[in-house]
Amino acid sequence: MDIIKRFTQYAQIDTQSDETSSASPSTEKQFDLARLLVKELQEMGASDVFLSDICYVYARIPSNLSPEEDEKTPKLGFLAHMDTSPSASGTGVKPRIVEHYDGGDIPLGHGFVLSPKTFPYLMSAIGDDLMVTDGTTLLGADDKAGIAEIMDMAEYLLTHPDLKHGEIEIAFTPDEEIGSGAEGLDLARFGAEVAYTVDGGPIGELEYENFNAASGNVEIRGVNVHPGAAKNKMINASLLAMEFDSLLPDERPSNTEGYEGFYHLTDICGDETSCRMHYIIRDHDRQKFEERKNIFRRAAEQINARIHGTDAHVEVTLTDSYYNMREKIEPHMYLIDLADQAFRDCGITPVTVPVRGGTDGARLSFRGLPCPNLSTGGQNYHGIYEYLNLSSLQKMPAVLVRIAELFVGCRK
């Protein structure tokens, strides 16, 4: 199947996950894509195709090596996630191709414009075909582009038996976007010794560093009385929320880059009586990460000291989400070297960059499966400005195939 047609079909299936759900998967509709992938894997001749009752898809491409070569070749895995972000709608996605992008503004519809004035890296795509939506939904390249690329790789390997490779394990996971995708993966069933997630951005990106991450919840209780009699009595919970935020360093996603960490207020809800805030806290450096959490705690302590003796109170709860996978990848740097070589062999300049986020691979690395991340060709994830470079989409399966080739005999 043509990979653009394949991706378009996947993109039109709504698989948005739900961070408020305790179910696994968080939304039943993720099974719609999972069942399609199972059908396609079976039809192309993959082995041990299996869909778990919590929406994990597994498949295997058997080795075609001699027993002696097999012994020297690690079992290699590729993973991508089926869900899309809760941050923007995934219902009724209408993919549209912009042919031979000319460097100008791209009207999306409904008054929204994808513009290089706002997203200057669009200029690197001049001459390429891009896929966008109509401005009402995200596109879903995160990570249905990765799924399409892995499926294309699988089809190629299964229809080219003369190309030598070891055992290839495939898995597609739910709920990555809400941080629970890696936990449900059955590593024994998956069977890989090492793996790659295909869940990155611009083509050539190779990532083995990611943020240390925590979520921070702030619960604020105020003292509310009639505003006409409020002097020296009212303590407005919403104003305490504003004060709390002002006590954090001005290090936000909008003014940080590279290895710079941040505090990100994702949502706030409240009134004079009570207010709730939710933050995500990120830093690549573990020591700086711990200090960020301490600053978060001290902001609450400072306010509580000021309002001591009243019924008002600020309470924070911090929960670590995941850690930088670099420490788990460094003993297996051949994973990076082989991916680097595969990109070069396919005429693509590799770029090693830190992930300003997290991947299933980070959590899997800490579960004992070293798992760096590879590019897909998508950009502007989690919103209506998301787009996919179709030239990159078409090139990535060859990179994955080449990695499989280079893995033959590489056991360390």
DSSP state letter for 177: G
Is 404's pLDDT higher than 90? yes
Distance, in Å, from the CA atom of 330 to the CA atom of 26, rounded to the nearest integer, reads 33
pTM for the whole structure = 0.90
What dihedral angle (degrees, nearest 10) is formed by the CA atoms of 33, 39, 41, 46? 150
Helix H or strand E encompassing 67: helix 67-71
Single out the residue of 288, 285, 284 nearest to residue 355, CA to CA: 284
Our answer to whether residue 176 is catalytic in this structure is yes
Choose which CATH entry (1.10.3720.10, 3.30.70.360, 3.90.190.20, 2.130.10.30) describes domain 212-322. Answer: 3.30.70.360
Looking at the chain, the domain(s) classified CATH 3.40.630.10 span 3-209+324-406
Structure tokens at 157: 């390997």
Distance, in Å, from the CA atom of 212 to the CA atom of 284, rounded to the nearest integer, reads 6
* Residue 213: per-residue pLDDT: 93
Q: Are 191 and 167 in contact (CB under 8 A)?
A: yes
With vertex at residue 204, the alpha carbon angle to CA 142 and CA 373, rounded to the nearest 5 degrees, is 55
If pLDDT is split at 50, 70 and 90, which confidence band does 321 have? confident
Is 159's pLDDT higher than 80? yes
Structure tokens at 118: 């706002």
Looking at the chain, the domain(s) classified CATH 3.30.70.360 span 212-322
* Residue 412: per-residue pLDDT: 64
CATH code assigned to 3-209+324-406: 3.40.630.10
Our answer to whether residue 345 is catalytic in this structure is no
Catalytic residue among 83, 143, 169, 199: 83
Residues 6+ apart with CB under 8 A from 130: 97, 98, 101, 106, 387, 388, 389, 390
Residue type, 102: D
Catalytic residue among 176, 207, 209, 386: 176
Distance, in Å, from the CA atom of 206 to the CA atom of 226, rounded to the nearest integer, reads 58
**Average per-residue pLDDT in the chain?**
96
Q: pLDDT tens digits for 106-130?
A: 999 999 999 999 999 999 999 999 9
* Residue 318: per-residue pLDDT: 98
Q: pLDDT tens digits for 270-287?
A: 999 999 999 999 999 999
Distance, in Å, from the CA atom of 121 to the CA atom of 105, rounded to the nearest integer, reads 13
DSSP state letter for 70: H
Mean pLDDT value of segment 384-392: 98
